[in-house]
């Protein structure tokens, strides 16, 4: 492969980016233009200095704990969560890794081209922690709807960073499609029409609330690799409609329990804050490490903010899957029941 082609990551089959890792990085919208202009990615917590050369995790976390946001906290819960994101950005990311940066209804792709650094002059703006990158796709954003469904779900992470290495094929496909076609392709048009058809059937077809719960269990959760998934009888409902378990690292690590709230809704009214509060009760009752809201309808901004607030408080993420995204998962992965 020619060097120029490799640097621009045309993502042919032998592209070396597929041997690297990938990450999701959520940046504030106000940073996006500077990041593009300066060919950098940015993470906050500029008040936590001295992290670049610190390779000991406990010392690293201690420095974050001394940051003004957490210095009065009685424990390391919030500081540890923040330190995890910073550690991933500063220590885990390597040159050649791909970074997906969500931005509204779009996302940007970048390839890491240099080590993390701390620019003291940028500390007042909280943008001191930076890494050099090469922005791919000519610095142009890609519509989220063009991404495969699993990548769309991952981009909904409520944390600042997340590992997305398992989705490298999906990222590669998005970049390849974006570089090959300046306008919507027949394949993308067909996919969108199929999603619209599936969505209409979910909302208006021959399916009731209980059947929809079974559908979410069989198609979504088992399709995502759940080891077990069971619908909770209404008489035993403690806030979760479905409880699923996933083996982590082949069962070497503790099993992850997921509490799922399912709503067979129409687009209006959207799922609101009360449903998130109900799901939170289910998460805590089931001692789950992850929550998931799945609806055939839409999700309100209030519900999204409530889920984010719970993540900030507890460190437990709530994955939000609306009807359009669920329809996309069905189109991309089929109706195979495992």
pLDDT tens for the chain, 338 residues: list them.
Answer: 333 344 445 444 345 555 689 999 999 999 999 999 999 999 999 999 999 999 999 999 999 999 988 989 899 989 999 999 999 999 999 999 999 999 999 999 999 999 999 999 999 999 999 999 999 999 999 999 889 888 999 999 889 999 999 999 999 888 888 876 655 567 778 888 999 999 999 998 888 999 999 999 988 898 888 899 999 998 888 889 999 999 886 766 788 999 999 999 999 999 999 999 999 999 999 999 999 999 999 999 999 999 999 998 888 999 999 999 999 988 887 765 43
Among the listed residues 182, 184, 111, the one whose alpha carbon sits nearest the alpha carbon of residue 145? 184
d(CA 34, CA 28): 11
d(CA 173, CA 150): 12
**Quick one: pLDDT at residue 3?**
38
| CATH number, domain 187-333, options 3.40.1350.10, 3.30.365.10, 3.30.420.40, 2.60.40.10 | 3.40.1350.10
d(CA 308, CA 321): 14
d(CA 31, CA 16): 29
Eight-state DSSP code of residue 19: G
Backbone angles phi, psi at 77, to 5 degrees: -60, -60
Ranges of CATH 3.40.1350.10 domains, the chain? 187-333
* Topology given in CATH for the domain delimited by 3-180: ph1033 like fold (3.10.590)
d(CA 301, CA 283): 21
Ranges of CATH 3.10.590 domains, the chain? 3-180
Please, which residues have CB within 8 angstroms of residue 132's CB and are 6 or more apart in sequence?
39, 40, 112, 113, 114
Question: Please, are residues 322 and 297 in contact by the beta-carbon 8 Å criterion?
Answer: yes
Burial pattern 2-31, b for ≥16 Cβ within 10 A else e, equals eeeebebbbbeeebebbebbbbbbbbeeeb
Eight-state DSSP code of residue 270: P
**Quick one: pLDDT at residue 272?**
95
Please, which residues have CB within 8 angstroms of residue 37's CB and are 6 or more apart in sequence?
none
Backbone angles phi, psi at 167, to 5 degrees: -105, 15
Which residue shows structure tokens 């519509």? 143
């Amino acid at each position: 492969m020619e060097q120029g082609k490799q640097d621009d990551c045309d993502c042919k089959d032998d592209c070396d980016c597929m041997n690297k890792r990938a990450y999701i990085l959520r940046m504030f919208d106000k940073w996006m233009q500077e990041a593009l202009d300066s060919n950098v990615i940015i993470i906050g917590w500029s008040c936590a200095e001295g992290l670049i050369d610190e390779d000991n995790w406990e010392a690293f976390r201690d420095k974050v704990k001394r940051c003004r946001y957490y210095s009065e906290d009685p424990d390391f819960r919030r500081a540890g969560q923040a330190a995890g994101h910073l550690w991933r950005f500063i220590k885990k990311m390597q040159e050649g890794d791909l970074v997906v940066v969500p931005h509204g209804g779009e996302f940007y792709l970048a390839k890491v081209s240099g080590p993390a650094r701390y620019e003291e002059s940028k500390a007042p703006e909280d943008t001191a922690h930076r890494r050099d990158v090469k922005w791919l796709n000519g610095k142009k954003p890609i519509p989220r709807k063009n991404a495969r469904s699993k990548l769309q779900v991952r981009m909904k992470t409520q944390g600042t960073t997340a590992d997305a290495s398992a989705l490298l094929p999906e990222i590669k496909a998005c970049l390849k499609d974006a570089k090959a076609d300046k306008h919507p392709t027949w394949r993308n048009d067909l996919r969108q029409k199929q999603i619209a058809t599936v969505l209409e059937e979910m909302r208006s077809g021959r399916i009731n609330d209980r059947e929809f719960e079974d559908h979410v269990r069989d198609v979504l959760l088992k399709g995502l690799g759940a080891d077990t998934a069971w619908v909770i009888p209404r008489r035993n409902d403690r806030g979760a409609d479905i409880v699923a378990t996933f083996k982590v690292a082949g069962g070497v690590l503790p099993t992850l329990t997921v509490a799922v709230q399912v709503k067979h809704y129409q687009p209006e009214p959207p799922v609101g804050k009360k449903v998130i509060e109900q799901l939170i009760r289910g998460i805590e009752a089931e001692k789950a490490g992850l929550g998931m809201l799945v609806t055939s309808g839409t999700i309100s901004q209030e519900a999204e903010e409530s889920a984010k607030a719970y993540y900030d408080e507890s460190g437990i993420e709530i994955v939000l899957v609306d009807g359009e995204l669920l329809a996309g998962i069905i189109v991309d992965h089929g109706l195979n029941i495992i």
